[in-house]
């Protein structure tokens, strides 16, 4: 029989040494050819999404998945599984009850997932077009080549697909506008400038299944009548840039792109543009300016890019995940796609579930599941079973959602109505040790730096908010600060030029709305309830809980903790820098926080 | 000498403004910054003013006009890393090397850069030195990792 070893080579697993593991599998399998009954192949796949437990190794067709594989485990896997056909139990994932699970779909992290955009990732070698073809690749494009422009747009309309980048604009409508333009040259673009901190869905798709993005973009090109396209990818995503560049070359060599697409006589050419590390370039008019080789500042709309975009030509820009859904929509039909999801939000959505949650990683689920399902069933709950405080969705433009809203369905419209947004899919879970004022300050600092400075409300509004929030976090908060923040935020929602500024106040406004008591504790109570803001926090050891295990003393970077083994320890307030390392290290909950020293 | 390499980088691309960012990224990669001669040569190549390229070089985070250290420490301060303690690591690096984000050590060995998100949130907090990723970073791990690069320098 034939067995395939799938070694995850996404950025996360590579960071944990998966390349050496794949190399060793190849070398040892070649060496051990002795066993003639099994023929083994090694495949280097894209990101499986469960990076925290990487490196991941899958064995097919046995459907065994191993986690946290080390170089020293390779030989045992070969002997026991590849040759012996049995699982290596200690490398299996243990579910919430501690039982080992063999198959991927038995893992509580993967079990509820339904994969469309991520369908191939983890199973194919992203650098082999043959793998993509074997998985039904380029079938959608083949079908699109037999359809008229209007038929393609109609199919996408039936699917109900909305832009996955955050705004949720219906994809077909964007295309329709560009299609109606009577222009000789039109462009299609892929927005791979995934700038939301805490989100990595697009990185995973670009790295792990670049051909699906190319196929999606080619379908978009046929629909709007463009022959040229670009993929704008963050330069920080080195592997994504590499894999997409290689995929374009490969697709051209196989006739899926180029001067004569699949023998149809149609011409479609794509190129990669590397982003320069500017968050605002995720905004499509700024992205276009950057593609033109200019400073990436947004432009007022209208004219919309679909009418006048790159180099003055009609330009349609779609997000990576949106494009990854298109081959499936064309291949299997829009109706089938629309059978999943909610009334207004069809299909599945990929989320980056990160932060203080037990199981972090990439999750693709049908639209409309609740936040609670996502965080507690798939994510396994909060790390250390600490209390949940909030989940931040939608990146810097989104908001913080409190516990009493966890039963809301996640889709484009529900969260928006609550002042947050689903956004591109970042979900950052926070526990009682995350300070909501500091989180708001963090986002505003991020945006103040990333604001291009072109329009005054954004530039000045962010600067003022940052000053106020920094004062509050550093213990200089004043009465009236909260109201002032609200008023600046509302002004920005009305007056800013682009989406960056219009939504910039969301993290501040939602944290004030749902966690006002934390702001007040900082301002009038002189304490940070989460124990994060160093100026408003001091740590002490609760002697009755301390077991004298010395973990805190080892973790302290400044030697402020002292004590004898098995006796309660002490923190020297004069040396303590309030970094909280001792609290993280303590397994007995013996480190307590108080307000500012001397208060 | 420098001119020759700069010219070679520039000549990889057609004489069009749209390639200006890509050229500057290549220069950045080669020199760890963009030399003034590079901007001047490129301006002549694509037919625009040096000031226009200067505005790009100062706008895009990936570009730098000052030489950077031999080892680039990229500390991720994306949201996931932030709430898992990246700020403590910034302070820790400052204690170890005496540099704040954006600064280079006096001996030119290390530059510390804060980046917004490396897309490796599941491994938060993440630090990248040159091309090597260090996931789930703690203050405890910091001295030995930096020590490896220091040793290499000597």
B92 and B25 in a single domain? The answer is no
Top residue of B42, B49, B79 to mutate, by most chain A CBs within 10 Å, is B79
Of A337, A362, A377, the last residue of a domain is A337
B146 belongs to a structural domain: yes
- Give the CA diameter of chain B: 52
A187 and A69 in a single domain? The answer is no
Q: Is A191 on the interface with B (CB under 8 A)?
A: no
Residue of B nearest to A202 (CA): B119
B149 and B76 in a single domain? The answer is yes
Residues of chain B found within 8 Å of residue A452, distances taken between Cβ atoms: 59
Of A106, A141, A169, the last residue of a domain is A106
Contacts of B152 (CB under 8 A, 6+ apart): none
A531 belongs to a structural domain: no
Collapse the DSSP code of A297 into the 3-class scheme (helix H, G, I; strand E, B; otherwise coil) and give the result: coil
A385 and A404 in a single domain? The answer is yes
A240 belongs to a structural domain: yes
Which domain covers residue B111, as residue numbers? Answer: 71-153
B81 and B124 in a single domain? The answer is yes
Interface touch A293/B21, C-beta < 8 Å: yes
Q: Please give the average per-residue pLDDT across A312-335, as a whole number.
A: 97
pLDDT at A475: 95
pLDDT tens digit sequence for A343-359 = 999 999 999 999 999 99
Lowest mean pLDDT across A193-197, A493-497, A565-569, A570-574 = A193-197
B122 and B76 in a single domain? The answer is yes
B77 and B54 in a single domain? The answer is no
pLDDT at A346: 96
**Which residues 544-573 of A have a C-beta within 8 angstroms of B?**
554-555, 557
B78 and B143 in a single domain? The answer is yes
A420 and A449 in a single domain? The answer is no
How does DSSP assign A434-445, residue by residue? Answer: S-HHHHHHHHHH
Binning pLDDT at 50, 70 and 90, where does residue A37 land?
Answer: low
Give the total number of structural domains in chain B.
Answer: 2
B96 and B125 in a single domain? The answer is yes
Q: How many CB atoms lie within 10 A of CB A335?
A: 12
Q: Please give the average per-residue pLDDT across A223-233, as a whole number.
A: 97
Bridge pairing between strands A426-431 and A348-355: parallel
pLDDT at A447: 93
B66 belongs to a structural domain: no
B87 belongs to a structural domain: yes
CA distance B128 to chain A (A): 9
B55 and B118 in a single domain? The answer is no
A121 belongs to a structural domain: no
A547 and A512 in a single domain? The answer is no
Residues of chain A found within 8 Å of residue B82, distances taken between Cβ atoms: 197, 439, 442
Interface touch B56/A196, C-beta < 8 Å: no
pLDDT tens digit sequence for B49-96 = 999 999 999 999 889 998 989 999 999 998 889 988 899 999 999 999
Nearest to A200 among B77, B85, B119 (CB): B119
Residues of chain B found within 8 Å of residue A321, distances taken between Cβ atoms: none
B6 and B46 in a single domain? The answer is yes
CA distance A239 to A18: 14
A303 and A182 in a single domain? The answer is yes
A301 and A405 in a single domain? The answer is no
**Cβ burial, residue B43 (10 Å; 0-12/13-18/19+):** middle
Give the total number of structural domains in chain A.
Answer: 5
* CATH code (residue A577): 3.30.70.20
What does the block give as tokens for A46?
Answer: 């894209």
CA distance B5 to chain A (A): 21
Q: Is A428 on the interface with B (CB under 8 A)?
A: yes
The H or E element spanning position A446 is helix A436-450
Top residue of B80, B92, B129, B143 to mutate, by most chain A CBs within 10 Å, is B80
**Which residues 23-52 of B have a C-beta within 8 angstroms of A?**
25, 46, 52
pLDDT at A36: 56
Quick one: how many helices (H) and strands (E) in chain A?
22, 19
A123 belongs to a structural domain: no
CA distance A286 to A294: 9
A363 and A470 in a single domain? The answer is no
Backbone angles phi, psi at A534, to 5 degrees: -65, -35
Contacts of A305 (CB under 8 A, 6+ apart): A284, A285, A288, A314, A315, A316, A317
Nearest to A428 among B83, B139, B140 (CB): B83
Sign, CA torsion B41/B47/B49/B52: negative
Q: Which residue has the tokens 């495949």?
A: A43
Binning pLDDT at 50, 70 and 90, where does residue B121 land?
Answer: confident
pLDDT tens digit sequence for A512-535 = 999 999 999 999 999 999 999 999
Residue of A nearest to B54 (CA): A295
pLDDT tens digit sequence for A40-70 = 889 999 999 898 898 999 999 899 999 999 9
pLDDT at B52: 95
Cβ–Cβ under 8 Å, residues A212 and A132:
yes
Residues of chain B found within 8 Å of residue A451, distances taken between Cβ atoms: none
CA distance A582 to A84: 46
Cβ–Cβ under 8 Å, residues A348 and A115:
yes
CA distance A19 to A489: 47
Nearest to A360 among B46, B122, B140 (CB): B122
Cβ–Cβ under 8 Å, residues A25 and A7:
yes
Nearest to A581 among B21, B88, B134 (CB): B88
Contacts of B38 (CB under 8 A, 6+ apart): B6, B9, B24, B27, B31
Contacts of A253 (CB under 8 A, 6+ apart): none
Looking at the DSSP bridge assignments, the partners of residue A188 are: A229, A316
At residue A234, does pLDDT exceed 50?
yes
Q: Is B83 on the interface with A (CB under 8 A)?
A: yes
A205 and A322 in a single domain? The answer is yes
Q: How many CB atoms lie within 10 A of CB A31?
A: 9
A446 and A515 in a single domain? The answer is yes
B128 belongs to a structural domain: yes
Assign residue A166 a region: left if phi > 0, alpha if psi is -120 to 50, beta otherwise? left
Collapse the DSSP code of A395 into the 3-class scheme (helix H, G, I; strand E, B; otherwise coil) and give the result: helix
Cβ–Cβ under 8 Å, residues A334 and A147:
no
Nearest to A295 among B19, B56, B95 (CB): B56
A289 and A358 in a single domain? The answer is no
* CATH code (residue B38): 1.10.10
Q: What is the Cα gyration radius of chain A?
A: 26
Collapse the DSSP code of A399 into the 3-class scheme (helix H, G, I; strand E, B; otherwise coil) and give the result: strand
Collapse the DSSP code of A594 into the 3-class scheme (helix H, G, I; strand E, B; otherwise coil) and give the result: strand
Q: Which residue has the tokens 């199981």?
A: A359
CA distance A156 to A158: 5
CA distance A48 to A270: 27
Interface touch B140/A555, C-beta < 8 Å: yes
pLDDT at A599: 46
pLDDT at B118: 82
CA distance B84 to B139: 12
B65 belongs to a structural domain: no
Q: Please choose, from the candidates A540, A520, A523, A549, the residue with its C-alpha nearest in 3D space to the C-alpha of residue A580.
A: A540
Nearest to A12 among B19, B115, B120 (CB): B120
A371 and A443 in a single domain? The answer is no
A553 belongs to a structural domain: yes
A532 belongs to a structural domain: no
Query: Could you tell me how many CB contacts below 8 A there are between chain A and chain B?
Result: 153
A93 belongs to a structural domain: yes
Cβ–Cβ under 8 Å, residues B118 and B128:
yes
Share the mean pLDDT of chain B.
91
pLDDT at B1: 54
What does the block give as tokens for A167?
Answer: 């705004």
Which domain covers residue A102, as residue numbers? Answer: 2-106
Contacts of A148 (CB under 8 A, 6+ apart): none
A331 and A375 in a single domain? The answer is no
Residues of chain A found within 8 Å of residue B79, distances taken between Cβ atoms: 197-198, 354-355, 392, 395, 426, 428, 439, 442-443
At residue A478, does pLDDT exceed 80?
yes
Q: Which residue has the tokens 């299996």?
A: A92
B64 belongs to a structural domain: no
Residue of B nearest to A207 (CA): B119
Residue of A nearest to B135 (CA): A15
A420 belongs to a structural domain: yes
**Which residues 198-227 of A have a C-beta within 8 angstroms of B?**
198-200, 203-204
B45 and B81 in a single domain? The answer is no
At residue A448, does pLDDT exceed 90?
yes
Interface predicted TM-score of the whole assembly (ipTM), two decimals: 0.86
């Amino acid at each position: 029989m034939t067995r395939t070893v799938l070694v995850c080579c996404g950025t996360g697993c590579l960071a944990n040494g998966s390349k050496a593991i794949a190399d060793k599998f190849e070398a040892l399998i070649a060496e051990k050819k002795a066993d003639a009954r099994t023929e083994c192949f090694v495949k280097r796949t894209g990101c499986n999404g469960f990076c925290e437990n990487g490196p991941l190794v899958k064995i097919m067709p046995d459907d065994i998945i191993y986690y946290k594989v080390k170089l020293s485990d390779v030989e045992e896997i070969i002997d026991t599984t590849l040759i012996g056909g049995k699982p290596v139990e200690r490398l299996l994932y243990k579910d919430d009850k501690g039982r080992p699970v063999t198959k991927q779909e038995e893992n509580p992290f993967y079990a509820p997932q339904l994969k469309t955009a991520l369908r191939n990732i983890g199973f194919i070698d992203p650098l082999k077009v043959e793998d993509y073809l074997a998985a039904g690749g380029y079938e959608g494009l083949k079908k699109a080549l037999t359809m008229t422009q209007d038929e393609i747009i109609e199919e996408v309309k039936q699917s109900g697909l909305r832009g996955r980048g955050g705004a949720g604009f219906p994809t077909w409508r964007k295309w329709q506008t560009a299609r109606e333009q009577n222009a000789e040259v039109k462009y299609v673009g892929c927005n791979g400038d995934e700038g939301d901190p805490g989100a990595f869905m697009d990185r995973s798709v670009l790295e792990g299944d670049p051909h699906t993005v190319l196929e999606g973009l080619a379908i978009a090109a046929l629909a709007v009548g463009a022959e040229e396209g670009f993929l704008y990818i963050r330069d920080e995503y080195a592997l994504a840039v590499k894999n997409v560049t290689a995929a374009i070359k490969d697709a051209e060599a196989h006739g899926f792109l180029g001067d004569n697409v699949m023998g149809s006589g149609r011409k479609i050419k794509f190129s990669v543009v590397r982003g320069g590390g500017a968050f605002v370039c995720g905004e499509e008019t700024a992205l276009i300016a950057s593609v033109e080789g200019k400073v990436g500042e947004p432009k007022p709309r209208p004219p919309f890019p679909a009418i006048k975009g790159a180099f003055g030509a009609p330009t349609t820009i779609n997000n990576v995940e949106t494009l990854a859904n298109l081959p499936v929509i064309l291949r299997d039909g829009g109706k089938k796609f629309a059978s999943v999801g909610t009334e207004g939000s069809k299909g599945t959505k990929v989320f980056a579930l990160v932060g203080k949650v037990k199981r972090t990683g990439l999750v693709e689920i049908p639209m409309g599941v609740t936040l609670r399902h996502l965080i507690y069933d798939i994510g396994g709950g909060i790390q250390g079973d600490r209390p949940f405080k909030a989940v931040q969705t939608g990146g810097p433009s989104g908001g913080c959602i409190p516990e009493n809203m966890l039963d809301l369905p996640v889709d484009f419209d529900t969260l928006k109505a609550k002042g947050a947004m689903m956004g591109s899919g970042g979900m950052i879970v926070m526990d009682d040790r995350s300070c909501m004022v500091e989180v708001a300050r963090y986002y505003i600092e991020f945006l103040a730096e990333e604001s291009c400075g072109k329009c005054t409300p954004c530039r000045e509004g962010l600067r003022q908010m940052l000053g106020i929030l920094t004062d509050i976090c550093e213990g200089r908060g004043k009465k009236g600060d909260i109201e002032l923040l609200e008023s600046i935020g509302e002004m920005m929602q009305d007056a800013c030029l682009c989406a960056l500024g219009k939504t910039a106040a969301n993290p501040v406004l939602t944290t004030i709305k749902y966690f006002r008591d934390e702001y007040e504790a900082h301002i009038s109570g002189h304490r940070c309830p989460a124990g994060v803001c160093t100026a408003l926090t001091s740590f002490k050891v609760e002697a009755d809980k301390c077991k004298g295990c010395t973990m805190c003393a080892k973790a302290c970077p400044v030697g402020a903790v002292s004590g004898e083994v098995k006796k309660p320890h002490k923190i020297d307030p004069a040396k303590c820098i309030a970094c909280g390392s001792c609290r993280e290290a303590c397994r007995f909950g013996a480190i307590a926080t108080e307000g500012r020293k001397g208060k | 000498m420098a001119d020759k390499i700069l010219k070679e980088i520039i000549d990889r691309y057609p004489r069009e403004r749209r390639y200006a960012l890509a050229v500057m990224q290549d220069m950045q990669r080669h020199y760890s910054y963009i030399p003034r001669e590079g901007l001047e040569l490129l301006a002549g190549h694509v037919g625009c003013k040096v000031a226009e390229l200067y505005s790009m070089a100062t706008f895009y985070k990936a570009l730098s006009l000052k030489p950077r250290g031999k080892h680039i420490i990229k500390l991720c301060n994306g949201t996931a890393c932030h709430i898992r303690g990246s700020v403590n690591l910034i302070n820790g690096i400052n204690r170890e090397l005496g540099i704040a984000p954006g600064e280079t050590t006096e001996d030119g060995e290390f530059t510390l850069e804060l980046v917004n998100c490396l897309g490796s949130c599941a491994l938060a907090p993440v630090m990248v030195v040159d091309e090597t990723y260090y996931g789930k970073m703690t203050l405890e791990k910091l001295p030995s990792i930096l020590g490896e690069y220091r040793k290499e320098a000597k």
